[in-house]
């Protein structure tokens, strides 16, 4: 993401949290970001577009960090799941997104509320699949119910009235919740005690995953545009991934080991936002190819 565009988003996010979404105007954002009206509309068509970009950036960052922790060898490790759940909570805390979500809900903007709903449904769908990874295929029928219960407990245990009186870390909170899930999930499985229809959440995932050709072009363009700013090992990593993806059946396990190199290389640099979009599309493609090759 262009630095100026990111500065506009940071200004908008600050105002949305401080003043509320409904009370913030495009003019407020322009003044806060110290840009012209034309510059704002060069990047965004409305303040709604700013909200969408803020949420999508956080979503992409969450997926990338979670995916970097995940591999077939540790898929059943509950400690990895706890760390992955902590990723989202840390990002939301750092960016004060819960305050932003509350502002959106109170705004009564249907389009934006649907975006929050979509994110929530995606989180349930993701956690449902990870619960099956942890507790076994036999828990598949109750995994959605357990995902909703787990997220509900996490949300309420973070309520300000509770947090004020108890100094609890995200890890402690999530470990407690996962112990509660483990205590009930096998009994629910044995009695097939499920309430929710899994398809309700799966059908709300509407991401358009880019093709191999498109991702290879992204990698090549990123390399050509920014190679002067890259270390040699990063150049080699990008070249290798592009070459491997060009194979009829790429060796996904090799690519998955290399992708974190790109993420780590650009953390805290001027290319961080640009690399996040690239790595997000790459992980999405790898997950799709992994499912196709099974």
> Quick one: CA dihedral 198, 157, 84, 263, positive or negative?
positive
Quick one: tokens of 268? Answer: 């805290």
pLDDT for res 294: 61
194: left (phi over 0), alpha (psi -120 to 50) or beta: beta
pLDDT for res 161: 65
* 294 residues of the chain, pLDDT tens digit each: 567 888 999 999 999 888 888 889 999 999 999 999 999 999 999 999 999 999 999 999 999 999 989 887 888 999 999 999 999 999 998 888 887 887 777 767 788 888 888 888 999 999 999 999 999 999 999 999 999 999 999 988 887 666 666 678 889 999 999 999 999 999 999 999 999 877 767 644 445 788 999 999 999 999 999 989 899 999 999 999 999 999 999 999 899 889 988 888 888 788 887 888 899 899 889 888 887 776
pLDDT for res 274: 83
pLDDT for res 207: 56
pLDDT for res 42: 92
Task: Say what the pTM is.
Answer: 0.78
pLDDT for res 28: 95
Nearest to 63 by CA among 230, 247, 234, 278: 278
| Residue 239 buriedness (CB in 10 A; 0-12 / 13-18 / 19+) | middle
pLDDT for res 204: 45
Q: Which residue has the tokens 């996490």?
A: 154
């Amino acid at each position: 993401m262009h630095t100026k565009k990111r500065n506009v988003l940071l200004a908008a996010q600050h105002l949305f949290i401080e003043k509320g979404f409904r009370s913030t105007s495009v003019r407020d954002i322009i003044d806060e970001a110290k840009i012209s009206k034309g510059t704002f509309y060069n990047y965004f068509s409305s303040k709604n577009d700013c909200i969408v970009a803020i949420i999508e950036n956080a979503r992409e960052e969450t997926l990338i960090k979670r995916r970097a922790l995940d591999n077939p060898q540790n898929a059943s490790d509950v400690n990895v799941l706890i760390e992955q759940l902590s990723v989202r909570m840390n990002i939301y805390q750092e960016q004060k997104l819960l305050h932003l979500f509350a502002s959106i809900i109170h705004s009564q903007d249907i389009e934006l509320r649907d975006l929050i709903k979509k994110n929530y449904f995606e989180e349930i769908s993701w956690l449902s699949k990870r619960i099956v990874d942890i507790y076994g295929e036999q828990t598949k029928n109750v995994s959605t119910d357990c995902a909703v219960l787990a997220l509900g407990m996490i949300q309420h245990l973070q309520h300000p009235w509770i947090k004020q009186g108890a100094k609890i870390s995200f890890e402690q909170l999530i470990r407690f919740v996962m112990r509660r899930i483990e205590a009930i999930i096998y009994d629910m499985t044995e009695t097939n005690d499920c309430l929710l229809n899994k398809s309700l959440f799966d059908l709300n995932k509407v991401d358009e995953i880019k093709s191999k050709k498109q991702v290879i072009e992204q990698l090549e363009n990123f390399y050509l545009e920014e190679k002067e700013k890259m270390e040699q090992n990063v150049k080699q990593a990008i070249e290798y991934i592009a070459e491997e993806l060009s194979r009829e059946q790429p060796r996904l396990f090799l690519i998955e080991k290399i992708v974190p190199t790109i993420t780590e290389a650009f953390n805290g640099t001027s290319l961080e936002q640009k690399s996040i979009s690239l790595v997000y599309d790459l992980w999405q493609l790898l997950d799709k190819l992994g499912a196709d090759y099974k």
